[in-house]
Amino acid sequence: MNHRFVVPEEQAGERLDVFLTALFPTRSRSAIKKLIDDGAVLVAGEQDVPEAAKPRKPGYAVREGDRIDLTIPPDVPAEALPENIPLDILYEDEDVIVVNKPKNMVVHPAPGHNTGTLVNAVLYHCGGSLSGIGGVLRPGIVHRIDKDTTGSVIICKNDQSHRAIAEQLAEHSLMRIYHALVIGRLPEEEGTVDCPIGRSPIDRKKMAVVPDLSHGKPAVTHYRLLQYFPDDNISYIACRLETGRTHQIRVHMASIGHPVLGDPVYGGAGKCRFRLDGQCLHAKILGFVHPTTKERIDTDAPLPEYFEHLLKILH
């Protein structure tokens, strides 16, 4: 739902989040702040054309005549419901399940994606038995991958497993290796991008490399060149995540001038002869210590058909 407001003289100087909270008394200030942080609020000055509207920070002091556009996303269901959706299962026992997520599937329900998610599918497969730590919309979910990214996701069936896997994730001992196609030839065979990631100050819907930890969180990506295709100027790489920030590989590779092929957000689309539906990024290897047996489990998600097809063409 879209709303537009014009700031009156008597409210000039108020914080943006305070101004909007007063207009929506049923929503908390933190909820309004999240909408602002998510880029759902655009502000244009009194003399600006509509196209000049842009995101502002919650603490922005509104001015008389400012036009404020607020888009409130549709409500999501109170809880995720089981749906009979086929799953590509890489590993499963009574504690955890590792699934090879297909392209165009969202991991858990969110505004605009209330059904058809990985959580809906796993709830049906597991008979509703998943850990409750993630809440009713994210049962069993310890980590996520993007809608257009394929590959391994581990989901926990009970709270003990959830805590154990979450601890491995926090300690950076959960092995996550992605395969990707990126634009250009990397400057070296192996390397590391160690740059904090936070919300983009220009577009709040995007992430970006930020100057320091006061603007974001630590993020470390290790990459290795698997093959370079000179005719198309494309590199096939493996990336090992030391941390797991939102869009981490996509942001880090774009920051060093090698965006992921097909990425419409971070500069990898429209730069080659292929027409692609989203980024060429696949979560291939997932390794963890089993929460109960303490054995090492390593899963390997086969590359999706479109990725294999691209590699054959490049070869």
Check if the beta carbon of residue 122 is closer than 8 Å to that of residue 101: no
**pLDDT of 234-244, one tens digit each?**
999 999 999 99
**pLDDT of 252-267, one tens digit each?**
999 999 999 999 999 8
Share above pLDDT 70 across residues of the chain, in percent, rounded to a whole number = 98
**pLDDT for the residue 78:** 63
**pLDDT for the residue 2:** 85
**pLDDT for the residue 77:** 66
Mean pLDDT of 166-193: 95
Classified as helix, coil or strand, 127 is: coil
**Which candidate in 17, 66, 95, 146 is catalytic?**
146
| Residue 17, pLDDT above cutoff 70 | yes
Mean pLDDT of 119-140: 87
Distance between CA atoms of residues 250 and 265, nearest Å: 9
| Residue 129, pLDDT above cutoff 90 | no
Average pLDDT, the chain: 91
Domains of the chain as residue ranges with CATH: 2-71 (3.10.290.10), 75-171 (3.30.2350.10), 172-279 (3.30.2350.10)
Q: Would residue 263 show up in a list of annotated catalytic residues for this protein?
A: no
Residues forming beta bridges with residue 133, ordered by sequence position: none
| Residue 111, pLDDT above cutoff 80 | no
Provide the sign of the torsion angle of the four alpha carbons 24, 26, 32, 38, taken in this order: negative
User: What band does 72 get if pLDDT is binned at 50, 70 and 90?
Assistant: confident
User: What band does 64 get if pLDDT is binned at 50, 70 and 90?
Assistant: very high
**pLDDT for the residue 76:** 62
Residue in 107, 7, 99, 141 with CA at minimum distance from that of residue 61: 7
Mean pLDDT of 40-46: 90
If phi > 0 it is left, if psi is from -120 to 50 it is alpha, else beta; for residue 142 that is: alpha
Distance between CA atoms of residues 140 and 65, nearest Å: 47
